[in-house]
Amino acid sequence: MKRLPLFLLVTTIAGAAQAQQQPAATPYYPAPPPMQAPAVQQGASTTGLTSPLPTGAPKVDRTEIASDAEAQLFADVRKITWGRHAKLKGAKPGEVTVSRQGNLWLIKGRIEGTAPGSEGDWATIDGVVEKIAQGAVVVRGEVAFRVAAVEKGRPCKVAGVLTFKRSGKSQVWRLAEGDNPCDGTRENFDLVYEKPAEKKPVPTQPKRS
**Average pLDDT along the chain, 209 residues, taken 10 residues at a time:** 53 55 57 70 61 63 96 96 93 96 96 93 97 97 95 94 95 95 95 81 68
Interatomic CA distance for residues 190 and 206, integer angstroms: 48
Inside any domain, residue 2 = no
Total domain count, the chain: 1
Inside any domain, residue 200 = no
Inside any domain, residue 129 = yes
Looking at residue 64, its pLDDT comes to: 97
Interatomic CA distance for residues 144 and 37, integer angstroms: 60
Inside any domain, residue 149 = yes
Task: Output Rg (C-alpha) for the chain, integer angstroms.
Answer: 39
Inside any domain, residue 44 = no
* Domain coverage including residue 182: 64-193
How many Å from the N-terminal Cα to the C-terminal Cα in the chain? 164
Looking at residue 51, its pLDDT comes to: 56
Distance of CA 19 to the CA centre of its chain: 71
Looking at residue 91, its pLDDT comes to: 93
pTM: 0.67
Inside any domain, residue 54 = no
